[in-house]
Structure 1
C-alpha cells in the first residue's frame, strides 16, 4: 500500500484486538498481506482495502462460533475468505481450502506460508471433483453460489453427521425456501443466525445446514 491509500479504521483497533485475542497476530498478518497484494492479484477490489476488516476479515470470523468440532473444508476459498481467517483463529484444527483457480491456489499456498498459518491444506478443484480425497465434518463457503447449488456440490464432502456453515446476505430466507426440495433430498434442515463480532460492525448472516 502507498501513503495515499486510505486507512481502514478498524485496522489495529483495540476492539478488534480484543475480539481475536491471542490469535490476532496471525489474523493481522493475513489481513496485511491481503491488503498489500489483494488488488494487484485480483482478489479484492481497490475500494475494499479501506474496509477490509469489516467487509472481509470480521465477516469471515463471524462463522467461528457455529463450526462445532471436527475437520473443516472451505469451498471456493478464493482470497482465503473465510477459510484462511478461520484457520488463523483456530490453529489446533485442520482446515482444507478447496479452490479451482490456479492463481488463487498459488495465493493460498503463499499466504499460509508467509503468515505462519500451518494448519491448512490447499486442494485445487471444485467441490464435486474432490469428494474422493476430502471428507469434512464442517463445510464452509462464502459468496460461492446459492444454497441449493452448494448443497448439491458439497454434500458428498460431508461426514455422516456433518454440517454446512455458510455466509449469506439478506436473501438467506428466500434461498432456503428455494432450496427446500434439495434440503429434503439430502435430509438437511436450515437455520438462520445473525452473528455479531465487534461493536459498530454490521452483523453477519450465517446459515447452518445440519442433518435432521
Structure 2
C-alpha cells in the first residue's frame, strides 16, 4: 500500500475519531508506521502485517483512547511496538510519556523511534513492571494487549498514584478477567471504542482502587 493511501486513511480516520491532525502529526505518525513495518520484519513487534490494516489497527486504534487521556505524564506498560504510547505522544507534545517493556529488542526499537521522530516527550525504560520503581507515581497507566487485568494491577499497582487509574485496552469485553480483579480494585467504567476500519470489538477498561471509607 502506498504512503498516499495510508495518509488518506489516517486523515479520514482521525476525523471520524474527532481529532484533526496537522501536517507534522500526520508525517510523524506515518513515519512511525514505516519504522514499525521495517523493524517488524526482524523483531516481530506486531502481528499486523497486512498493509491495508496497519493504519486502522495500529494508529487509529491507539488514538481512539485520546478522549480519556487526562494526565500530564502517562506510563505505557508492555509498550512493545509503541502502541498506544508513540501515536499518543505524537499528537500530545505537551504530555510526557514513559514507555516500559521487558524485551530489550522492543525497547531498542522504541529508542530508535524516539531518535528518528525527535520525540522529546518520550522516555523508554527497559525492565519488568513489577521490578520497576523510577520514583514516579503515575495518575494514568495505559496498556494494550499486555496481560490480564489481574496481573496488571499486581505488577503495576505500586506505580499508580493515589487516585490514579489504569487504561486497559482490550478486544472483546473480558468478563473473566474483571471477575478476577483482586480485593481493593474495581472496574470503574468501560467504554466501547469505535475504531474506523476495525471490524472487531474494542473496549477500554478504566480500573482504579476502591476508595477507603472511614470507620
TM-score class normalised by the smaller sequence? 0.7 to 0.9
Which residue matches 1:12? 7
Question: Do 2:139 and 2:165's aligned partners in 1 also have CA atoms closer than 8 Å?
Answer: yes
Aligned residue among 88, 93, 96 for 2:95? 93
Counterparts of 2:165 and 2:5, CA distance in 1: 31
Give how far 1:7 is off.
5.3
Aligned residue among 128, 131, 134 for 2:130? 128
Which residue matches 2:213? none
Counterparts of 2:193 and 2:173, CA distance in 1: 15
Question: Do 1:26 and 1:117's aligned partners in 2 also have CA atoms closer than 8 Å?
Answer: no
Counterparts of 2:5 and 2:178, CA distance in 1: 33
Give how far 1:107 is off.
0.6
Counterparts of 1:81 and 1:17, CA distance in 2: 16
Counterparts of 2:27 and 2:190, CA distance in 1: 31
Which residue matches 1:194? 192
Give how far 1:59 is off.
1.3
Give how far 1:75 is off.
0.4
- Distance change (3 Å), C-alpha of 1:126 and 1:48: farther
Q: Deviations over 1:71-123 (max 9, x none)?
A: 10000111101111111121100010001111111110001111122201111
- Distance change (3 Å), C-alpha of 1:10 and 1:177: farther
Q: Over aligned residues, Cα RMSD in angstroms?
A: 2.2
Aligned to 2:56, what secondary structure does the other structure show?
Answer: helix
Give how far 1:128 is off.
1.0
Would you identify which runs of 4 or more consecutive aligned residues in structure 1 move more than 6 Å? none
With normalisation by structure 2, the TM-score equals: 0.84
Aligned to 1:112, what secondary structure does the other structure show?
Answer: helix
- Distance change (3 Å), C-alpha of 1:45 and 1:8: farther
Q: Deviations over 1:45-89 (max 9, x none)?
A: 473443111112111111221122231000011110111111112
1:98-109 residue pairs with structure 2 within 5 A?
A: 98-109=100-111
Aligned to 1:138, what secondary structure does the other structure show?
Answer: strand
Aligned to 1:21, what secondary structure does the other structure show?
Answer: coil
Counterparts of 1:110 and 1:201, CA distance in 2: 28
Question: Do 1:7 and 1:50's aligned partners in 2 also have CA atoms closer than 8 Å?
Answer: no
Aligned to 1:176, what secondary structure does the other structure show?
Answer: helix
Counterparts of 1:133 and 1:53, CA distance in 2: 35
Which residue matches 1:210? 208
Counterparts of 1:142 and 1:8, CA distance in 2: 25
Counterparts of 2:115 and 2:67, CA distance in 1: 26
Instruction: Please list every run of 5 or more consecutive structure 2 residues that lacks an aligned counterpart in the other structure.
Output: 211-215
